Amino acid sequence: MKMETFLLFDEGYFYRTWGNFAFVEKFHKLAPPNQKIGEAWLISDREEYESKVTEGTYKGKTLNELVRMFPKEIYGENLAKRYKGKRFPLLLKLIDANEILSVQVHPSDEIAKKLGERDGGKTEMWYILEAKMNSFIYLGLQRGVKKEHLLKEIRNQGDVERLLNKIYVKPGDYFLLPAGTIHAIGPGIVLAEIQQNSNITYRLYDWNRIDSDTGKPRVLHLDKAMEAVSEGGKSISVPRLELHREFGLEKFLCSCPFFNVKLFNVEKPANIWERNDSFHIVFAIRNTFLEYDNEEKIVKMGEAILIPALSTREIRVKKGEFLDYYING
């Protein structure tokens, strides 16, 4: 059977106490309209949510089934060898925060293995889609603050916030968070998050909130979190590189061992991908129009589509603005 060119999947929606209603009201998604949905999983190969194809020959097939059926076609030859027998390596989600999230950290692959976790580590990257006035995130610790200082404040119910590095954000900002980075998303933010396919989160501090279901504070994971924390830098700077092409803008946002991210703003039709050594996940910031062999596909704002490596060079982008997620083959 022939691999399809455009793979569009269903989406998983997750209630969170800190969630909001942007997925329905602003992105017109089919999320439950009266629930505070905090996360929308767009591309997922996990037991918690298996993305399923919504149209075409492989409608109903899971992403996991497809990468096992068509590894070379989806990954490209080199990546197919790297991920043979493994789950799809990335997880793409949207986060809609009406309240501040807990202060947390994710382990590296090495620390996750050391701690006996089933999952691997988790490096992630955020792209801010919407942010209210004075919205902020926390990334890392203030200069000179050690993780032991943070632990002491947490255990003594002290002023944790003053030890954290606070960054005010606006739409279009982006941040790479290597595993081990202490972080928290503030209220009034909608962001796109690409990450390693892992769901390990160690909660350091939850602002003394009480869980409405249990009437108790949520569980903290202080011992594991302290093991996972890296004191590298107070924030992660990403080099800014913009290329003004004939078709529009190509902007490099992130390159790390686990994924690469670009932003494209295409104003004139063009074939923008030159190689077939990786899949490409296209996440539309505004409606994006793709074409392959006289077949046109519209990726609506807030949607994601997976393009197998086999097809990328032949894809023509007619117009649109989107994030492009891929891996170096």
Mean of pLDDT values over 4-14: 95
Give kind and range of the element (H or E) at residue 69: helix 63-69
Residue 130 has pLDDT above 60, yes or no: yes
Provide CB contacts within 8 A for 11, sequence distance 6+. 29, 30, 31, 40, 41, 42, 51
**Cα four-point dihedral sign 307, 325, 11, 173:** negative
Give the model's pLDDT for residue 303.
98
Give the model's pLDDT for residue 15.
95
Residue of 206, 234, 189 lying closest to 95 (CA atoms): 189
What secondary structure does DSSP assign to 105-166, as a single string?
E---HHHHHHTT-SS----EEEEEEEE-TT-EEEEEE-TT--HHHHHHHHHTT---GGGEEE
Give the model's pLDDT for residue 163.
95
Mean of pLDDT values over 205-225: 86
Give the model's pLDDT for residue 211.
75
Residue 5 has pLDDT above 70, yes or no: yes
**Cα four-point dihedral sign 51, 55, 56, 60:** positive
Q: Token match 């200082």: residue?
A: 149
Three-state DSSP state, 257: coil
User: pLDDT-derived band of residue 234, with 50, 70 and 90 as boundaries?
Assistant: very low
* CA–CA gap between residue 138 and residue 147 (Å, rounded): 15
Partner residues linked to 127 by β-bridges = 174, 192
Contact 51, 10 (CB under 8 A): yes
**Cα four-point dihedral sign 143, 147, 152, 158:** positive
Give the model's pLDDT for residue 239.
65
Beta-sheet strands, E only, within 24-89: 37-43
Please give the structure tokens belonging to residue 14: 């997750």
Catalytic-residue membership of 155: no
Residue 235 has pLDDT above 60, yes or no: no
Residue 2 has pLDDT above 80, yes or no: no
Q: Token match 């309240």: residue?
A: 99
Q: Which CA distances in Å does 205 have to 123, 215, 268?
A: 20, 17, 48
* CA–CA gap between residue 188 and residue 136 (Å, rounded): 9
Distance of CA 95 to the CA centre of its chain: 9
Domain boundary assignment for the chain: 7-228, 241-326
Residue of 257, 264, 278, 306 lying closest to 125 (CA atoms): 257
Per annotation, catalytic residue among 16, 68, 203, 245: 203
CATH of domain 241-326: 2.60.120.10
* Topology match between the domains 7-228 and 241-326: yes
Over the stretch 156-189, which tens digit does the pLDDT of each residue have? 988 999 999 999 999 999 999 999 999 999 999 9
CATH of domain 7-228: 2.60.120.10
Terminal-residue alpha carbon distance, the chain: 24
Query: DSSP class of residue 328?
Result: -
Give kind and range of the element (H or E) at residue 289: strand 280-292
- Single-letter amino acid code for the residue at 64: N
Contact 204, 226 (CB under 8 A): no
Please give the structure tokens belonging to residue 236: 């992660």
Provide CB contacts within 8 A for 148, sequence distance 6+. none
pLDDT over 90 percentage in the chain = 87
Burial 120-129 (b: 16+ CB within 10 A, else e): bbbbbbbbbb
Contact 25, 37 (CB under 8 A): no
* CA–CA gap between residue 149 and residue 153 (Å, rounded): 6
